[in-house]
C-alpha cells in the first residue's frame, strides 16, 4: 500500500507490507524505496513484521527541493529515519538501509539509539563518498570508468532511462532486466518537477554532493543493537572487504555474503536475507 507520511515538516513516500500492528521493519532506500525488492518486503511480512520501505528526500514522492544541490546533510537523513520510525510505531524499529541508505542507517542507529531495536546494513560501507580509508577496498577502477564514461540519457524518455539503468546494472554485475523494470517503476512515480535531477538522484548519480561530515566509522563500536551485514560477493562498487570491516567493528554483528549478488539483493536471495533479518 503506497501513501505518504508527514513528520518534521517533511513528506515521505512510503509503502506498507503486512500487519500494521506487528513489529516495524523500516527500510531506508538508497535513495528510492524500490532499492528494496518486493520479494524481500513480502517475505518479511510473511514472517510477522510490519514492513515499511520509504524514499529518502529528493526521491520518489518524498519532499523534493533540489536533488542537484541538497541543502541537508547525511545526519539530517538519519534524523529523518528516526522521526519516521517514531511516527509509524511507538516501539523501537528494526532499521535497514541499502547502499546510501546503509550509511543513513549507521548514523541513525548511532545518533538515535532509542528509536531502533535492530540494524541491517546491505551493500554499504562505513565511510562517506570520496577518499577511502587505506584498509578498505575502494571502487573497482575499470568498472567506475565504464560507469561514468557513458552519456546521460534523455530523462524525459522512459525507454531511454530504462535502457540506461539496464546497461548500468550490467556493468555493476546486477540483473539488467530487473534493473530495467525498477527504472520503469521509478520513472512512472517520479514527480513532474525536476524530473532529470530526481531520476539521476534515484539512480545513484548525485549522492556525492551530499555533506557527509563528520566521520562516523570510529563510533561503530558504540552500537549495542543486534546487527546483520548483508553484501554481494560480486560487488565491485563497494567490494566485500567493506562489509567484512563493518562486521568486525560492530560488536556481535553477523555477516551474510550473497555469492550471486552484486550491489542489489536478487529476488532469488530474498528468503535467505529475510530469514537472517527475522532472526535478529
Mean predicted confidence (pLDDT) in 38-66: 95
pLDDT for the residue numbered 249: 98
Q: How far apart are CA 274 and CA 169, in angstroms?
A: 23
pLDDT in tens, 215-250: 999 999 999 999 999 999 999 999 999 999 999 999
116 Rama sector, left if φ>0, alpha if ψ -120 to 50, beta otherwise: beta
Among candidate residues 20, 21, 22, 2, the one with its CA nearest the CA of residue 12: 2
For 83-115, write each residue's pLDDT tens digit: 999 999 999 999 999 999 999 999 999 999 999
Between the alpha carbon of residue 212 and those of residues 18, 47, 104, 108, 127, the distances in Å are 34, 35, 10, 13, 9
Question: Does position 60 have pLDDT exceeding 70, yes or no?
Answer: yes
Residues of the chain above pLDDT 70, percent: 98
Q: How far apart, in Å, do the first and last CA atoms of the chain sit?
A: 26
106-139 pLDDT tens trace: 999 999 999 999 999 999 999 998 889 999 999 9
Q: Which of 8, 56, 9, 48 shows the shortest CA–CA distance to 32?
A: 56
pLDDT at residue 211 is higher than 70: yes
* Three cell numbers, residue 146: 565504464
More confident residue, 207 or 169: 169
According to the model, what pLDDT value does residue 205 have?
62
Answer for the pair 221, 250: CB distance below 8 angstroms, yes or no: yes
Cell numbers that stand for 241 in this block? 572487504
Res. 189 pLDDT band, cuts 50 70 90: confident
The CATH topology of domain 2-138+190-278 is: Rossmann fold (3.40.50)
Where are the domains positioned within the chain?
2-138+190-278
- Confidence at residue 275, expressed as pLDDT on a 0 to 100 scale: 98
191: confidence class by pLDDT, cuts 50, 70, 90: confident
Region class of 60: left (phi > 0), else alpha (psi between -120 and 50), else beta: left
Residues 235 and 220: their CA atoms lie apart, in Å, by: 22
Amino acid at each position: 500500500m503506497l501513501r505518504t507520511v508527514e513528520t518534521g515538516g517533511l513528506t515521505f513516500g512510503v509503502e506498507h507490507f503486512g500487519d500494521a500492528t506487528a513489529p516495524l521493519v523500516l527500510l531506508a532506500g538508497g535513495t528510492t524505496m524500490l532499492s528494496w525488492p518486493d520479494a524481500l518486503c513480502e517475505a518479511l511480512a510473511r514472517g510477522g513484521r510490519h514492513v515499511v520501505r520509504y524514499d529518502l528526500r529528493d526521491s520518489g514522492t518524498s519532499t523534493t527541493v533540489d536533488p542537484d544541490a541538497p541543502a541537508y546533510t547525511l545526519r539530517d537523513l538519519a534524523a529523518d529515519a528516526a522521526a519516521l520510525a517514531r511516527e509509524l510505531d511507538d516501539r523501537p524499529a528494526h532499521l535497514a538501509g541499502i547502499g546510501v541508505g546503509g550509511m543513513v542507517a549507521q548514523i541513525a542507529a548511532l545518533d538515535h539509539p532509542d528509536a531502533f531495536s535492530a540494524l541491517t546494513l546491505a551493500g554499504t560501507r562505513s565511510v562517506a563518498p570520496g577518499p577511502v580509508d587505506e584498509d578498505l577496498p575502494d571502487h573497482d577502477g575499470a568498472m567506475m570508468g565504464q560507469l561514468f564514461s557513458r552519456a546521460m540519457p534523455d530523462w524525459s524518455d522512459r525507454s531511454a532511462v530504462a535502457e540506461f539503468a539496464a546497461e548500468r546494472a550490467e556493468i555493476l554485475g546486477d540483473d539488467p532486466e530487473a534493473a530495467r523494470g525498477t527504472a520503469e517503476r521509478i520513472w512512472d512515480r517520479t514527480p513532474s518537477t525536476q524530473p532529470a535531477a530526481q531520476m539521476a538522484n534515484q539512480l545513484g548519480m548525485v549522492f556525492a554532493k551530499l555533506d557527509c561530515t563528520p566521520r562516523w566509522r570510529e563510533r561503530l563500536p558504540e552500537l549495542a543493537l543486534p546487527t546483520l551485514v548483508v553484501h554481494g560477493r560480486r560487488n565491485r562498487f563497494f567490494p566485500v572487504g567493506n562489509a567484512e570491516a563493518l562486521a568486525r567493528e560492530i560488536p556481535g554483528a553477523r555477516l551474510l555474503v550473497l555469492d550471486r549478488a552484486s550491489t542489489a539483493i536478487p529476488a532469488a536471495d530474498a528468503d535467505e536475507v529475510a530469514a537472517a533479518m527475522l532472526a535478529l
